[in-house]
Structure 1
């Protein structure tokens, strides 16, 4: 596998191109036995898709253990579909690029699978183009409390173009979110971001700022953003099963003075919000908080 021009540009600016190149062999086009074993027990996935207006969305997918089924070394089937009002349904009809992050919060493990998807009313089949594990940094431990909520209410969807006060409080208290990005030729990608509560700052009802900490130095997300600023963010209320999806444009900032606003930041990102989708009761899963990542800057 090789990096595209955006990834190389960010790696070069960060001074880590040689290190990134050494890590390139970790990216595979086949699902190796270790990845197959990992997928067999997972219940949480985040999907990146693109709508007809080129906006990027991050969507939640959950299911029983092993709901991500390995069909062969280059194909998986996700035996779940997003909530009907989630944009990924329509997105995959017009653009079959998908970026998946399968994450195990209990054991701090995460696997990225990017490829081409085909969706129907029961499942999503994906032909894999890229597979690789990410490091455990910044993942807060959470344990699945219940797999089924007996009195689960029906999902409710709210679409707005500005954050409410409740949304803003949700974001400023968050210790985890997911970011979806898209390169017109290399496809969709989904990544995890974590930190102590307050690491995402609300500038106003249409703008967020958040830090980028030291990572794997491959810069798939930032490489995509340099080429295409369209991005999607997903915040999960792990205790109640609600989701908050934001789509908009992201700008990577390297200004040293600005970096001082965040302890441990190597870069920061300004995110301008264009549309907001809040889904209450988005999943029957509930998570109990365990502990913060020891890697979180303090």
Structure 2
């Protein structure tokens, strides 16, 4: 991991995590703590001093040998760096990752927001759903940002990946952004997401073409609510369907199989002022 990436992660108040559960389902999660909670003792190691709550699928996926992905994003500067690797140690208050791959991404479609860590004292409630209700629909309909986790079919939950093929067969988590409401609700179990021109790395699409099980994370930047979706993704390239989404190169049809709604689950405070990405004007 380059020194620039190591310093970048160390200054963040939150990161996004991609993981795989025992059934092979990918999930996207958020971890937050005061800046400095992420450290890198050397170029091959990342230590994260924050743990998910027990209801988050990540809680049970943090085992030595598990494939894992990390996305660091600094919203107000639109900087983002990604890495993936393998969990090598899990302690009561932190876990350690051996880095297989670390790379930067362009600032496309990131909405600029100021954010700071803010511990929420109230007991966090988490509820599982099998389909969207009105409250969840409102969160998605208002969203200009989400995160998607995907994985290679050989990315695994347990110790087997300690001796695997590295980054090429691991987990990935990435950012998606657009105008508010860019993710369309087809029905209570189906979403449609445009896929715009990005970094041309095709990490997510490459994984989805081999393994359709993906995880989405929506954040309510006002309440701090987290909405995690387990989905089965279908890549749509039909021009007739794509033409209704300006700027889209393809669509992701996302069939929802499980939902976790965590109330005020993000220990963060976002300022209300938002500067939308200049790239949205090209859509």
The two structures have a TM-score, normalised by structure 2, of 0.91
Contact 2:64/2:90 (<8 A) preserved: no
What's the counterpart of residue 119 of structure 1? 90
Whether 1:90 aligns to 2:40 is no
Structure 1 runs of 4+ aligned residues shifted over 3 Å read none
Per-residue CA distance 1:51-105 (angstroms, 9 max, x = gap): 1111111011111112111121000100101122111111233861001111111
Q: Which whole-Å CA distance do the structure 2 matches of 1:282 and 1:132 have between them?
A: 28
What's the counterpart of residue 256 of structure 2? 273
Contact 1:230/1:247 (<8 A) preserved: yes
What's the counterpart of residue 294 of structure 1? 278
Match of 1:133 among 97, 104, 107: 104
Shift of 1:195: 0.4
Structure 2 residue runs without a partner (length 5+): 155-168
SS in 2 for 1:224: helix
Shift of 1:198: 1.3
Contact 2:32/2:117 (<8 A) preserved: no
Whether 1:252 aligns to 2:235 is yes
Match of 2:140 among 151, 171, 175: 171
Q: Which whole-Å CA distance do the structure 2 matches of 1:93 and 1:132 have between them?
A: 24
Of residues 184-193 and 129-138 in structure 1, the stretch that sits farther from structure 2 once superposed is 184-193
What's the counterpart of residue 204 of structure 1? 187
Q: Which whole-Å CA distance do the structure 2 matches of 1:78 and 1:112 have between them?
A: 14
Shift of 1:277: 0.2
Shift of 1:36: 1.7
Match of 1:143 among 87, 92, 114: 114
SS in 1 for 2:102: strand
How many residue pairs are counted as aligned between the two chains?
266
For 1:100-111, list aligned pairs within 5 A: 100-111=70-81
RMSD of Structure 2 on Structure 1 (CA): 1.4
Shift of 1:119: 2.7
